[in-house]
Each structure stands twice: as C-alpha cells, then as structure tokens.
C-alpha cells in the first residue's frame, strides 16, 4: 500500500457539454443562484419529482463508484457520472453552480468537500468521496458517499464506516415536531465516542426547486438550529467527520476544502423528506 502524501491540484479537462434539450437550473451562466423564497415544506407533486431526480443522482454516483480503483483519475469519475445524468435527461447540478467547472465533486483523503475532478490519479490506500446532484423536472436530488480505493488502512476504513453510521443514526432521529438540532446532536455524540472531529462550517441544507434553499442542517449540536421539522420538509443530511481537527483551509481554486491538519476526512449524504412518523430517504438507487 502506498504511503500518504498531500494532494496538489491536477489539470482540468475541457468542460463537458450538456445537450441544449436538457433544461438548466436558473443559476447556470450566472454568478450565483436567485434567493429561494418558497416554502421548506413541499407538496406531494414536488416530492414525487424529487424522487426521480434523487434516484438519478444516486444511480449516477453508483455508476461512477464502480470505476473507483487505483490508477483511475477523478476526471474519469466525473465523465461517468456526467454521461449517466445526461443520458437520463438530467442536468448535473454542480456544473456551473457559482462557476463550478465539473459535474460532481471528488474529495480525496484530506479534502472535506468540493474537490474538483481533474487529472489526479487514485492511489492504493486512498479514500474518495463522490458528491452527485441531479436536476430534472425542475427539482434537485443530492447525495454523496465515501469509497475505499484498494487496500485501505484500518484507521481510514473505520472512519468511513462510522461516518456512514452517523448518517444512518441521524436519519433515524428525524421526526415531525423535533427541532433540527437533534440531527447534529446525534451525529456529534456518536463521533465523540471515537475522538473524531465534526465539521461545523459546511452543513446539510434545504433542497427542492432550489439546490440550497437557505435551510441549514448542522452536524453538531447547535442550539441555534431550532427550526421544527414538519411533514413534507425536504433537506439533506451530510455529516463530515475527521480523524483530527474540524478546522479547514481552502485551496486557491476557491472550492477545495481541506482539513487544516491534513488528516483524513469522510462524508456521506442523503436527500430526504420528513414523513408523518420519520423520514423517507429519496436518494436510493
């Protein structure tokens, strides 16, 4: 197994085309999205459309994940996910969001989130997060997962397994009438059992016709997160746990977020809708 080394930016490939027949989100070609002014609780027709977008996102992520192996570039993973979404008449939500140049995020090792796919080659022993969002029928579906590349050391493997478990526990905590901060309380209390850091400044978010509606879902016990969950609310939960500090730095590209101590980090995400007695996960393949 290769020894650890810090990541450096690779070379970007040209922007991948999307057929003109596929509708774009309103922010494509603009500096940023229009502020969302709609409700956080969605009607059943909107949720039904979100099931389609979410399923396509999950399937695109699953297809790209099949190619995760030593020697594969992150740009190749982007190509696979991009082509899958386009083939299913969905627009890759990341592409053109505030100028993001690719169709998914690929975050390796010490990258917390928003890694840009490029010529970087996966190495034996890496871990890589794939974050995929699809836009179709006017709504978004967003998911991510962290994958093992070849022979991964136990410390990293356990971090990945426990981050997935923290998301599962958080989803089970979703109930109408509870405050949003129960989600972060469950994640943080579980992560503390293993001495993991919990990233605070990057959160889950409301999602619907807007990629990020303004609703914030912290992954730590934030006393300010007092919004009460109601049936029909749609949002993501996406805990980011680290082997060391939760503090971070951002590369000069303005996107790539890395742990300040350069220790490894993992993340998992689902889009869900609050139901009468819990939550329905929408991003299942």
Per-residue pLDDT of 146-200, as tens digits, reads: 999 999 999 999 999 999 999 999 999 999 999 999 999 999 999 999 999 999 9
237 token code pair: 């939960």
Chain mean position to CA 228? 23
Cα 113 from Cα 223, distance rounded (Å)? 24
Q: What is the pLDDT along the chain (285 residues), one digit of tens a residue?
A: 344 678 999 999 999 999 999 999 999 999 999 999 999 999 999 999 999 999 999 999 999 999 999 999 999 999 999 999 999 999 999 999 999 999 999 999 999 999 999 999 999 999 999 999 999 999 999 999 999 999 999 999 999 999 999 999 999 999 999 999 999 999 999 999 999 999 999 999 999 999 999 999 999 999 999 999 999 999 999 999 999 999 999 999 999 999 999 999 999 999 999 999 999 999 998
Q: What is the DSSP letter of 115?
A: P
Q: Are the C-beta atoms of residues 122 and 228 closer than 8 Å to each other?
A: no
pTM check: above 0.85: yes
* Nearest CA-CA partner of 46 in 204, 278, 271: 271
Q: What is the pLDDT of residue 285?
A: 87
Q: What is the DSSP letter of 68?
A: -
Contacting residues for 45 by C-beta, under 8 A, at least 6 apart: none
Q: What is the pLDDT of residue 4?
A: 61
């Amino acid at each position: 197994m290769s020894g650890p080394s810090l990541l450096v930016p690779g070379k970007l490939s040209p922007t991948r085309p999307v057929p003109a027949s596929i509708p774009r989100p309103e922010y494509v070609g603009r500096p940023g999205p229009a502020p969302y002014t709609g409700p956080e609780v969605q009607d059943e027709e909107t949720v039904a459309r979100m099931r389609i977008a979410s399923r396509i996102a999950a399937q695109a992520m699953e297809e790209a994940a099949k190619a995760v192996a030593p020697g594969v570039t992150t740009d190749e993973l982007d190509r696979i996910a991009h082509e899958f979404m386009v083939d299913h008449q969905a627009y890759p939500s990341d592409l053109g969001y505030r100028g993001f140049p690719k169709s998914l995020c690929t975050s390796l090792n010490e990258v917390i989130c928003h890694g840009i796919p490029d010529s970087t080659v996966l190495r034996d022993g890496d871990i890589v997060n794939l974050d995929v969002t699809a836009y179709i029928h006017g709504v978004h579906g967003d998911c991510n997962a962290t994958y093992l590349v070849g022979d991964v050391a136990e410390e990293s493997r356990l971090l990945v397994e426990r981050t997935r478990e923290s998301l599962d526990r958080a989803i089970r905590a979703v109930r109408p009438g509870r405050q949003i901060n129960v989600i972060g309380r469950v994640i943080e209390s579980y992560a503390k059992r293993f001495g993991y850091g919990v990233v605070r400044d990057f959160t889950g978010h409301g999602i619907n016709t807007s990629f990020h509606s303004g609703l914030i879902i912290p992954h730590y016990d934030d006393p300010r997160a007092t919004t009460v969950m109601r049936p029909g609310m749609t949002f993501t939960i996406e805990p980011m746990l680290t082997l060391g500090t939760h503090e971070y730095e951002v590369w000069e590209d303005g996107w790539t977020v890395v742990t300040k101590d350069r220790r490894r980090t993992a993340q998992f995400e689902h889009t869900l809708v609050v139901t009468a007695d819990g939550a329905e996960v929408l991003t299942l393949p």
